[in-house]
Structure 1
Amino acid sequence: MPAVNSQPRRAHSGNRRDEAARLAVLHAADDLLVEHGFGALTIEAIARRAGVAKQTIYRWWPSKVEILLDTLIEDSDKRLSVPTEHPTAETIRDYLRGFARFLGDDPAGKVLLALIAEAQHDPATAASFHQRYLGPRREQERDLIARAIDAGEVSPRLGPDDTIDALVGPIVYRALTGSSIPHELVDTLVEDLLRPRSA
């Protein structure tokens, strides 16, 4: 009589073994993505690298996209959190510098770029990506800009959404094309687009 699989549990159940397996899968997925690219990433390869059964992965995630999204969300929360303290032009600049480093140096940044690229070809990836990552993060970034405006720290000529696009767009474009993202670019974007009143 099967005792282990009679009541499948999700990885988020709090069980220590489940959590270890979940983390192993997430680490394996982003490592393999960096090593081989999105197209060569398979559930079979992730299972082998993580040391878990394919059935375990499929019980917790319906696709490799959802695995990568979990990886991206967790890593972004840890290493690229949107500032919640009193917002200033400098706070926003530092966040954008961190974003540039995230895209250029962090394996999770490669996951973000891969999902952006895949979303252009696959509507299901685009929908999940927007719902689970882009939408919530954009809300946080919009709130950051709006709070800075309300506090009189910045006075952008564009509205919050257009300001976010204008700030983030050049950084993402350079990362997608494999170009470096110098601090001077970020600093110029902040100076020209946010126009802090105290400058």
Structure 2
Amino acid sequence: MPAQPNPERRNERSRRAILDALYDLAVEKGYAKVTIEAVATRAGVGKPTIYRWWASKGAVALEVINDRIGTAIDFPNTGDIVADLTSQITAVTGIMTGDLGRLYRGVIGECQTDPKLAQELRATVLEPRIRFCTARLDAAVADGQLRTDLPTRTMVDVIYAPVYYRWLLSAGDAEVRGCPALVPEIIAGLLPR
């Protein structure tokens, strides 16, 4: 049985080349058509190097997603939850409708048949961002801007469900880019009663 991937052994130049290669190939061909062989060739490394650091193509893609999102969708705290949500959802939909969003959508598709990848997606991409969001919503609750009788984790679902619904099931990017305009309607049900 092969050893578990060891991120500690990564050479940064090779790591960057692999991440860039997967991203570029996904943009050119679509994520489903990307192979580890093609990534290795484009990056100038051997397949064993990739598998020494990541368990699968999906695991590499998750690192690409996290790496490229960086702080782009961090949750601002200006003291105005409606403005902050609008700003944050604008940033999220900007990513969703770009090349990185198409890669992310491909990974989500793969997660439907790969429970381990789905677990990694939740742990490395979704949950850290949900924690940032709930922290901002907790602050808004403490400031009296949002209801106190609804868990902030539930609020996250209410806020982002329309965004993900439009993104995963819509006919086009214009509908997704329109999501920030929904914030006043979404937030109306979360305001103090």
Query: TM-score band, normalised by the shorter chain?
Result: 0.7 to 0.9
Structure 1 residue 38 corresponds to structure 2 residue 38: no
Q: Partners in 1 of 2:176 and 2:31 — Cα distance?
A: 26
Q: Partners in 2 of 1:164 and 1:63 — Cα distance?
A: 30
Unmatched tracts of structure 1, length 5 or more: 1-9
Report Cα offsets for 1:116-143 as digits up to 9, x if no partner: 2221221111111112221221111111
Q: Partners in 1 of 2:77 and 2:51 — Cα distance?
A: 36
Corresponding residue number in structure 1 for 2:93: 100
- TM-score, normalised to structure 1, is 0.80
**How far apart are 1:162 and its partner, in Å?**
2.5
Instruction: Work out whether residues 97 and 183 of structure 1, in 8 Å CA contact, stay in contact via their aligned partners in 2.
Output: yes
Q: Secondary structure at the match of 1:71?
A: helix
Corresponding residue number in structure 2 for 1:52: 45
Q: 1:22 to 1:146 in 2, by over 3 A?
A: same
Structure 1 residue 167 corresponds to structure 2 residue 154: no
**Aligned residue type for 2:136:** L
Instruction: Give the superposed CA RMSD.
Output: 2.7
Q: Secondary structure at the match of 1:79?
A: coil
Q: Partners in 2 of 1:159 and 1:131 — Cα distance?
A: 21
Q: Secondary structure at the match of 2:71?
A: helix
**How far apart are 1:100 and its partner, in Å?**
0.7
Q: Secondary structure at the match of 2:93?
A: helix
**Aligned residue type for 2:23:** D
**How far apart are 1:43 and its partner, in Å?**
0.7
Instruction: Work out whether residues 90 and 179 of structure 2, in 8 Å CA contact, stay in contact via their aligned partners in 1.
Output: no
Matches within 5 A, 1:116-155: 116-155=108-147
Instruction: Work out whether residues 166 and 176 of structure 2, in 8 Å CA contact, stay in contact via their aligned partners in 1.
Output: no
Q: Partners in 2 of 1:102 and 1:156 — Cα distance?
A: 31
Q: Secondary structure at the match of 2:59?
A: helix
Instruction: Work out whether residues 12 and 19 of structure 1, in 8 Å CA contact, stay in contact via their aligned partners in 2.
Output: no
Instruction: Work out whether residues 159 and 187 of structure 2, in 8 Å CA contact, stay in contact via their aligned partners in 1.
Output: no
Aligned residues: 185
**How far apart are 1:184 and its partner, in Å?**
4.7
Q: Partners in 2 of 1:174 and 1:49 — Cα distance?
A: 34
Instruction: Work out whether residues 7 and 54 of structure 2, in 8 Å CA contact, stay in contact via their aligned partners in 1.
Output: no
**How far apart are 1:40 and its partner, in Å?**
1.5
**How far apart are 1:192 and its partner, in Å?**
2.0
Structure 1 residue 82 corresponds to structure 2 residue 75: yes
Q: Partners in 2 of 1:101 and 1:133 — Cα distance?
A: 17
Q: 1:184 to 1:57 in 2, by over 3 A?
A: closer
Q: Partners in 1 of 2:133 and 2:70 — Cα distance?
A: 13
Higher RCO structure (Cα 8 Å, ≥6 apart): 2
Unmatched tracts of structure 2, length 5 or more: 1-5
**How far apart are 1:152 and its partner, in Å?**
2.2
The percentage of aligned residue pairs carrying the same residue is 27
Instruction: Work out whether residues 171 and 181 of structure 1, in 8 Å CA contact, stay in contact via their aligned partners in 2.
Output: no
- TM-score, normalised to structure 2, is 0.82
Q: 1:12 to 1:42 in 2, by over 3 A?
A: same
Q: Partners in 2 of 1:100 and 1:157 — Cα distance?
A: 29
